[in-house]
Structure 1
Amino acid sequence: MEGSSESNSRGLNTSGVSEFLPAERDRSKSFLSHIGYVRSLLGSHKEDTLRADDIVRALKCEDVSLRQWLDNPERSVDAFECFHVFRQIVEIVNAAHSQGVVVHNVRPSCFVMSSFNRVSFIESASCSDSGSDEERPKETMKKSQEVGGSRKEEEFQPFPMKEILAMEMSWYTSPEEDTGCANAYASDVYRLGVLLFELFCPVSSREEKSRTMSSLRHRVLPPQILLNWPKEASFCLWLLHPEPSYRPSMSELLKSEFINEPRESLEEREAAIELRERIEEQELLLEFLFLIQQRKQETADKKRIRQGAEGVEAEENEDDTLDSTLLESSRLMRNFKKLESVYFATRYRQIKASASASNDKPLARYYSALSSDGKSSVSNLTQADSRQGGWIDPFLEGLCKYLTFSKLRVKADLKQGDLLNSANLVCAIGFDRDGELFATAGVNKKIKIFECESIINDGRDIHYPVVELASRSKLSGICWNSYIKSQIASSNFEGVVQVWDVARGQLVTEMKEHEKRVWSIDISTADPTLLASGSDDGSVKLWSKTLKLNQHGVSIGTIKTKANVCCVQFPSDSGRSLAFGSADHRVYYYDLRNPKLPLCTMIGHTKTVSYVRFVDSSTLVSSSTDNTLKLWDLSMSVSGVNEAPVHSFMGHTNVKNFVGLSVSDGYLATGSETNEVYVYHKAFPMPVLSYKFKTVDPVSGLEVEDASQFISSVCWRGQSSTLVAANSTGNIKILEMV
């Protein structure tokens, strides 16, 4: 029996059943990893004030084995509760069968139930793992815990004993398995019948339990279940039929009247369970944030005591780890209210999305996972699980990203020979596809190509471009081709779009349909033959570099608007969609197969939208001269209009000029009219980091204040932590987040 138990439990997990519900399995592990990371930033490796185990214990302290729950002598039958538990296990078994896996371990000891009656599959303990009766006494163990100076007795029930597990294996073995026949799906159905019987037939003693379960092997049911629960008893007998072919399949079981009949007050009970879960999750994270706040206060107090005892010298020699701890802690506490607001906003959006997905019906996740024909699927079940708790993982991941870096440091200064030239404003910066070369363009009518690594590694007084391309007019934008490494496109103040070959230093083609200045161009990453441009003439034009007609500068499509177009961009995964920002304060998202009407219009900015960038295929960020960046979720639009940005990022100053915008791995870099570079993370509306360009008088060499200078362009180096920023005087720096 021991070998059988071990084989079944191990075989089940290696066959992949646990992978059917990854969100349920990984949630506590992910939560621990996030909190462990933040704890390390707060210096908790030195002291035990903040413990991840303490934080997570609220989620786990009331979890209990389904076997223990069933065998509780005080348990009374609640039809809705029992049906809810049974339905969840049916869904888990069906998920396995749909993948061609026989579960084997459909036994109470293989499931854990939370205080909200949420059932999760676990790797069961085998008979040999349980220990002997001498090693584990039968009486309840007690553990003393200090609570506010007093002692509180907490009772812990031991895991099912070896003899209980052995008997359970016997109870849940189907007749065909007793005769040595191969295990099959029908055996799992038999085990569901035994489980249904245990749910609706509680017994008060172990001896009575043994007698009742022995009778069940012969399909003899006790009088109380026949009298009190006739429908359940009849359904149980169907599942327990001695002939496997007469038992229902999982699809028949899910279609049965017993499973699908309406039950009074079920929706209200499910809604109450969901509400309790939400409250517990909210209280858990609030407790976590308050613990961080408490840890910060304790660290600050210790620092003050150390400074008072050791004087200024102690402060100068203070450990770097403590400095970093205080910096991160200070940033957390300074933005504590914003973090709290983001947490509740994130939760609210998830509740709203879940309600919309289930047609505003407060059914539990396992009910909402059912498809329209009443069947269940692994994907639906997994999605339902993730909707309940998966929302917190992105929040904690964002918190970790927010705390990962502590400052922006200068890796290199790009020093050019014409720095004193007043016409040095850099309007655009762009990296090539491999992040090896970057180009700058601006009012000096030149595209300059620099090799990034040589600038970082060579401490030269003056850096020269490896290639320099001359234009007839001031340049407003550039964009590298992601497929042809040496190809770059530019736009200028005369309304001309040009394509250049950097390797040969030559102009390839010109496109002259725009009537006014072209502010922005973009080459599609998914379709590198497609180019878009936006102009002050109120139009967006599409160009294809594969058409011979294009040698004469004829566009293949035009989107007309009522205001100046300041920026255009394709999503990285599609050449059929395009977003652009306009002087009418709006962001437009088009399906290019139907260019007459926008697919979505984003309304929220109060001034001109100067930049748009895609964060991913369904999320974009826009920059405006109203001092904000806004994050938009394209899936949240209603009737083609989105008036509710996910976040409004504030901290930088932008009321007049184009200051640049770039996106990398969720980090958003932008300039400011205070001559500073700001970095945000998409998860939170406050800045992560900032760096102020120093203004040096060229004659005296001293730092001076110059309110007229501003950051004019920024660009990340691919998906790295390095970015290039330039200001209005042509001062270019390579910065790195550390």
Structure 2
Amino acid sequence: MNYTSPEEKQQEQLEEDSSQARCEWDFSISAAVPRNPTTNASDVLGAVEVDPSGRLLATGGLARKIRIYTLDPLRYEFYICTPAKLSSLRWRPNPPGCHVASGDYDGVVTEYDVERRTPVSERDEHGGRRVWSVDYSAAGLGASGSDDGTAQMWDPRCGPVLSAVRVGASVCCVEFDKTDGPYIALGCADRRAYVYDVRNMSSGPVSVFAGHEKTVTYVRFDGRGRLVTSGTDGRHRLWELASGKEVRAYRGHANARSFVGMSVWRSGGLIGCGSESNEVFVYDLRWGEPIWVQSFAGRTEEEEEAKAFVSAVCWREVSEDECALLAGGSDGMVQVYAGRRKV
């Protein structure tokens, strides 16, 4: 009798799932903002984020600027200067105005009033170590993850940190579960992802997901009781929160050293990500192989030789059958891809 190991069974299942992949979407480029050819400064984009209303786009990165665009059509409006290079951005869901938070290389989380173009609060509890990620819960709680090995949670309406956990490795990503429960997920340099109950983070993680071979750079809840993780092992992985089991692995994009962006469109069941191959990828959560791949056009031969890559992505929902995938590059370029479900 031939014995099939659990690992071999899982691989066979992945191959079977992948062979059934069907693209139910049409994607096409709808807008682009080229990089500024007059600047010599590095303009790697660490974040592209659409505000809760779907009206504004914010980008941030090494150029020490938060650039604000309006959408429909995509048009540059203005920028806000920041004191340090930016690694992350996140719009606050329910502020008294239009606010966006940034995490920077100096270990500071700053919230900006976009309409007034001024900072309204700063937090520096990470001891000067780089803040990789910031997020807000649906109720407005804030969280940050840092090179200091901690994730911290606070209420923007008051000063002190509400809770902090130390995992012993750089926390590269934090995200609140905004649909399924009172949870927050962390992606860490120890190759693991952790999920905590925000009501009692001091009691330890309620789930630990170990499967990546290198740093976990992104964690995203899918809104269906599952977590998507991404790592510099060139894989996304889908996990069941309740059982802790891996459901599926996604492969095709290139990611061995950089943050290439990963975003989950919960309503559509799609993963969008960048790649070190200068391409944008879309995966359907049901299948392990990509359903759509697009070259990030517009680079010169010189830039290709410099190994430019797609460094940040985010989804914008238009309707149940329409979406947009926004992508930012290591050269500062922004492109928007319109998606429509096939009839």
Q: Tell me if both proteins adopt one fold, taking TM over 0.5 as the criterion.
A: yes
Q: Residue 611 in 1 paired to residue 286 in 2?
A: no
Counterpart of 1:543 in structure 2 is: 154
1:496 deviation in Å? Answer: 0.3
1:555–1:617 Cα change, 3 Å = farther
Equivalent-residue separation in structure 1 for 2:147 and 2:333 (angstroms): 28
Per-residue CA deviations over 1:442-493 (Å, capped at 9, x if unaligned) read 00011011001132xxxxxxx5x32311110000100001223611111100
Q: Is the 8 A contact 1:467 1:505 kept in 2?
A: no
Equivalent-residue separation in structure 1 for 2:332 and 2:18 (angstroms): 41
What SS does structure 2 have at the residue aligned with 1:636? Answer: coil
Q: Is the 8 A contact 1:695 1:706 kept in 2?
A: no
Structure 1 unmatched runs, 5+ = 1-336, 345-397, 456-462, 638-643
Name the amino acid aligned to 2:48: I
Q: Residue 558 in 1 paired to residue 134 in 2?
A: no
Name the amino acid aligned to 1:468: Y
Counterpart of 1:656 in structure 2 is: 257
What SS does structure 2 have at the residue aligned with 1:684? Answer: coil
Q: Which has the higher contact order (CA 8 A, sep 6+)?
A: 2
Q: Residue 726 in 1 paired to residue 338 in 2?
A: no
Counterpart of 2:337 in structure 1 is: 735
* Residue of structure 1 aligned with 2:78, choices 454, 457, 467: 467
Counterpart of 1:494 in structure 2 is: 106
Name the amino acid aligned to 2:284: H
What SS does structure 2 have at the residue aligned with 1:453? Answer: coil
What SS does structure 1 have at the residue aligned with 2:161? Answer: coil
Per-residue CA deviations over 1:136-161 (Å, capped at 9, x if unaligned) read xxxxxxxxxxxxxxxxxxxxxxxxxx
Equivalent-residue separation in structure 1 for 2:205 and 2:230 (angstroms): 19
Equivalent-residue separation in structure 1 for 2:42 and 2:304 (angstroms): 20
Counterpart of 2:30 in structure 1 is: 411
Q: Is the 8 A contact 1:422 1:729 kept in 2?
A: no
1:670–1:343 Cα change, 3 Å = closer
Higher strand share: 2
1:706–1:517 Cα change, 3 Å = same
Normalization by structure 1: what TM-score?
0.42
Normalization by structure 2: what TM-score?
0.88
Equivalent-residue separation in structure 2 for 1:594 and 1:543 (angstroms): 13
Equivalent-residue separation in structure 1 for 2:112 and 2:249 (angstroms): 37
1:734–1:483 Cα change, 3 Å = same
Q: Is the 8 A contact 1:428 1:477 kept in 2?
A: yes
1:483–1:636 Cα change, 3 Å = same
1:342 deviation in Å? Answer: 2.8
Per-residue CA deviations over 1:246-295 (Å, capped at 9, x if unaligned) read xxxxxxxxxxxxxxxxxxxxxxxxxxxxxxxxxxxxxxxxxxxxxxxxxx
1:415 deviation in Å? Answer: 3.1
Equivalent-residue separation in structure 1 for 2:302 and 2:109 (angstroms): 40
Per-residue CA deviations over 1:519-573 (Å, capped at 9, x if unaligned) read 0000112x11x000000000001110122xx1xxx31211111111000000113
Counterpart of 1:180 in structure 2 is: none
Per-residue CA deviations over 1:47-102 (Å, capped at 9, x if unaligned) read xxxxxxxxxxxxxxxxxxxxxxxxxxxxxxxxxxxxxxxxxxxxxxxxxxxxxxxx
Q: Is the 8 A contact 2:284 2:290 kept in 1?
A: yes
Q: Residue 448 in 1 paired to residue 67 in 2?
A: yes
Name the amino acid aligned to 1:544: D
What SS does structure 2 have at the residue aligned with 1:341? Answer: helix
1:580–1:704 Cα change, 3 Å = closer
Aligned ranges for residues 105-184 of structure 1 at < 5 Å? none
Q: Residue 666 in 1 paired to residue 286 in 2?
A: no
Once the two structures are overlaid, the 10-residue window that deviates more, 704-713 or 511-520, is 704-713
Equivalent-residue separation in structure 2 for 1:556 and 1:677 (angstroms): 38
> Number of paired residues?
321
1:695 deviation in Å? Answer: 4.6
Identity of counterpart residues, as a percentage? 35
Counterpart of 1:680 in structure 2 is: 283
Counterpart of 1:646 in structure 2 is: 247
Structure with larger Rg: 1
Name the amino acid aligned to 2:24: T
Equivalent-residue separation in structure 2 for 1:609 and 1:339 (angstroms): 21
1:471–1:343 Cα change, 3 Å = closer
1:405 deviation in Å? Answer: 2.0
